[in-house]
Amino acid sequence: MTKNIEIEFKNIVSETDFHLITQTFQIKNDQFFTQTNHYFDTSDFSLKQAGAALRVRELPLSFEFTLKMPAKIGLLEVNQNLSIEEASLLRTSSQIPNGEVMIELIKMNINMEDIQYFGSLTTNRAEIKYKDGLLVFDHSFYLNKEDFEIEYEVADWSKGKINFEQLMSELNIPILSADNKIERFYSAKKMSTTKVID
């Protein structure tokens, strides 16, 4: 189990700009790997309303259970490794495994029995080090949608903001307000549900 502060800058970009920036940094196809985020909340979105998010990240050889909560700067992440059995039970029956994530959920007065699985988002991702941070190239797929995103993960908010905005300016890529992945997923899910009802 680990706790850490996540500070990152995000920019939704067009497919053309995504290919421009990957070519600029000479990112090859074999540098991309696939990860899938499985999202959870209560039926009345108690976590979302608290500015928090709960997910299982599935990688080729591991599963990580993460609760993200607001912090003074960035987000506080509580991470817990899961076995394949624990990850499977979470998806099929919303059974929350014992550990630090459960402890934090209880502190938030979240009833474990109210937590349910909402769906998944799959990302093809590449990462490189860039000016004291990590530059991330994401092509994501969810609910018959896809988008392209550049993330910059840093330890220092002020320096990171300068470096990220300077990079986007140098490449003549507009900075567009970007919701995080879980917000984009829930927004798309709400729209698809509305269409079904209509």
Question: 40 near 90, Cβ under 8 Å?
Answer: yes
For the ranges 95-104, 143-152, 184-193, which has the lowest average pLDDT? 184-193
- State pLDDT tens for residues 120-175: 999 999 999 999 999 999 999 998 899 999 999 999 999 999 999 999 999 999 99
What's the average model confidence in pLDDT over 93-99? 92
**pLDDT of 12 over the 90 cut:** yes
Residue 61 φ then ψ, to 5°: -125, 10
More confident call, 33 vs 177: 33
HEC readout, 97-156: CCCHHHHHHHHCCCCHHHEEEEEEEEEEEEEEEECCEEEEEEEEEECCEEEEEEEEEECC
pLDDT at 73: 87
pTM higher than 0.75, yes or no? yes
